[in-house]
A and B are shown apart, each in its own frame.
Chain A
């Protein structure tokens, strides 16, 4: 099983709302990632968690707040977003953070900010 599950698949939120995206994997992977993909653009890395600790933050605005409650779960808390934050948000995981491991992606959560 190489499945990374993301919920919800679609989310519409207002600029004053607080919402969360969720990601789950049961492959025993210890590295998890959030990527953002705008329309017709390649995915861009946002955050890397390794062994439940935030290891990389690619200068992401504080209105995006990641959380890793345990080794299987990864959340992305959203608050006071802007319309330009509308995008496909992708979660991924790998055995660990080292190069050479296979990184598996979920199907993504489509976010629309109105």
Chain B
């Protein structure tokens, strides 16, 4: 699976949009981009995933560049409960193996 690069930490003001970048320059054509988050002491929570097209659900939007070498997770209106570690994972393995990287610690402040 391709490796991902994320900033180690980000701050975001409550009520503002949070834009989390992820670089995956070695991504292959059949590799999906997944985003999970983990609030302290809890299990990882699925946010969204996509292959080529931009995706949106009730939690977030995923914007994938045309060359697929990077993506951005957008939390449209950050709340204090969005404070968590966010993991960007590029996943192609046919056996469902998610290889977590170090992630981005997002802190939402009032």
* A56-70 to B contact mask, C-beta < 8 Å, 1/0: 100000000000000
**B2: Cβ under 8 A from any A Cβ:** no
Please provide the chain A residues from 56 to 110 with a CB less than 8 Å away from any CB of chain B in the complex.
Answer: 56, 88, 90, 94, 96-108, 110
Is there contact, CB below 8 Å, between B95 and A97?
A: yes
Q: How many residues of B contact A (CB 8 A)?
A: 27
Q: When chains A and B are docked, how far (Å) is the Cα of A108 from the Cα of B41?
A: 9
Encode contact with A along B22-45: 1 for CB under 8 Å, 0 otherwise: 000000001110101000011111
**Within 8 Å CB of A99, what residues of B?**
30-32, 91-94, 96
Contact B94 A42 (CB under 8 A): no
- Please, which residue of chain A has its CB at the minimum distance from the CB of B91? A99
A70 to B36, CA, bound (A): 27
Is the Cβ of A100 less than 8 Å from the Cβ of B51? yes
> Which A residues fall within an 8 A CB radius of B?
2, 4, 6, 31, 33, 42-45, 48, 50, 55-56, 88, 90, 94, 96-108, 110
Which residues of B approach A to under 8 Å, CB–CB?
30-32, 34, 36, 41-46, 49, 51, 87, 91-103
